[in-house]
Amino acid sequence: IEAMAEIVQRTGLDGIVATNTTTRRGREVAAEDYGAQPGGLSGAPLRAQATEAIGIWRGFLPASYAIIGVGGVMSGADAAEKIAAGADLVQLYTGLIYRGPALVAECARAARSAAGKS
């Protein structure tokens, strides 16, 4: 991530999206029925790994670079966790599919609160 952050800063990008899907399976995921399926893993099983990546990115990018946190956001608490890890914005997809539009308002409230905004 450090090398990629240097490239982001050299090329004049305004920010990054961290993360989306992963092909890496931890022990907990590998034990699940879907753990051996090919392709990218998304949704709740990705949450902790994605949040960790956001924190690492934030450590290598100045505050002037936007980080859009994504990966396993299924609740307002998950959105707040992304903000607390260093994301400036939060992107929803899988959670929106399973929870519907009410998740947007829940996440917006939680993200504002985590960012110290009313």
pLDDT score for 11: 96
Kindly state the tokens that stand for 107.
């996440």
Per-residue pLDDT of the chain (118 residues; tens, 9 = 90+): 999 999 999 999 999 999 877 766 666 666 666 666 776 777 788 899 999 999 999 999 999 999 999 999 999 999 999 999 999 999 999 999 999 999 999 999 999 999 998 6
Q: Give the Cα separation of 95 and 101 in Å (integer).
A: 9
At which residue do the structure tokens 């009410």 appear?
102
| Domain 2-114 CATH superfamily | Aldolase class I (3.20.20.70)
Kindly state the tokens that stand for 97.
């599919």
pLDDT score for 31: 60
At which residue do the structure tokens 């990115």 appear?
57
Q: Where are the domains of the chain?
A: 2-114
pLDDT score for 64: 97
3-state helix, strand, coil in the chain (%, to 5): 55, 10, 35
pLDDT score for 86: 98
Q: Give the Cα separation of 34 and 6 in Å (integer).
A: 35
pLDDT score for 24: 67
